[in-house]
Amino acid sequence: MDLQVQKRGILGRLVGGLRKKGLVPGELYGKGLENIHVSVPTKDFRKIFKEAGENTIINVLVDNQKYPVLIHDVAYDGISGDFLAVDFYRVKMDEKIKVKVPMEFIGIAPGVKEKNGVLVKSLHEIEIEALPGNIPHNFKVDLTKLADIGQSIHIKDLDIPSSVKVEISLDTIVATITAKVTEEEELAMQQEGAAKVEEVKVETEEKKAERDAEKAAAAPAGQPAPGAKTPPAK
């Protein structure tokens, strides 16, 4: 995927004018590369960002030069959701890098549809290490394998290429099916939580009483215990 960008001399607060013209201000940088200020048509960037995300290599074209990059960081307007700025990080195709690859959950779990279970997604992305050209766009998680309550899908169950090193235990759970909590069970858990809070409160008060008694015993005769209130002089 190629993305044509242009060098820009407009910096600072003046970049707001670029956005009004349908351009996103960006920065191109990386190992062995001086920082280059660029601008990219918003329409073109939106299309390629939707396809590539932040973990797929794209080629940025500037002044007849082609740079393999990752879309490293994207800033958005908190109200409109429009792109404010983007960073392109140049990579070396012969050097491994660490990136986070998202999960794509596909299918419907029979454990939910037929057994009335609850699907719990424990992970939504995995950090991996690989050469830039070997980075997967995503990892597909086939939920149709979860046929019963208590079944889980682990990292080791995913289709992970041998060229990719996963930076997490292969036994880590990605998704699982749990039983629904009944109203009675939920009420019991709430009551248990309230009882524990009360126990902690009683225990705290008992320890405070013990400390006060120890201070009183250690105080010299006729002297108030440390921390004790002294009666006002008459």
142-163 per-position pLDDT tens digit: 999 999 999 999 999 999 999 9
pLDDT at 34: 84
Across the chain, mean pLDDT equals: 84
- Check whether domain 98-178 has CATH 2.170.120.20, yes or no: yes
What would the pLDDT profile of 175-193 be if each residue is shown by its tens digit? 999 988 766 655 665 666 6
What would the pLDDT profile of 193-224 be if each residue is shown by its tens digit? 666 666 666 666 666 667 766 666 666 655 55
What would the pLDDT profile of 96-147 be if each residue is shown by its tens digit? 999 999 999 999 999 998 988 999 999 999 999 999 999 999 999 999 999 9
Topology alike, domains 2-91 and 98-178? no
Reduced 3-state DSSP string for the chain = CEEECEECCCCHHHHHHHHHCCEEEEEEEECCEEEEEEEEEHHHHHHHHHHHCCCCCEEEEECCEEEEEEEEEEEECCCCCCEEEEEEEECCCCCCEEEEEEEEEECCCHHHHCCCCEEEECCCEEEEEECHHHCCCCEEEEHHHCCCCCCEEEHHHCCCCCCCEECCCCCCEEEEEECCCCHHHHHHHHHHHHHHHHHHHHHHHHHHHHHHHHHHHHCCCCCCCCCCCCCCCC
Helix extents (H) in the chain: 16-20, 42-52, 110-113, 183-218
What are the residue boundaries of the structural domains of the chain, listed by start?
A: 2-91, 98-178
Which homologous superfamily does the CATH classification assign to the domain defined by 2-91? Ribosomal Protein L25; Chain P (2.40.240.10)
The model's pTM is: 0.68
Exposed, middle or buried, 38 (CB in 10 Å: 0-12/13-18/19+)? buried
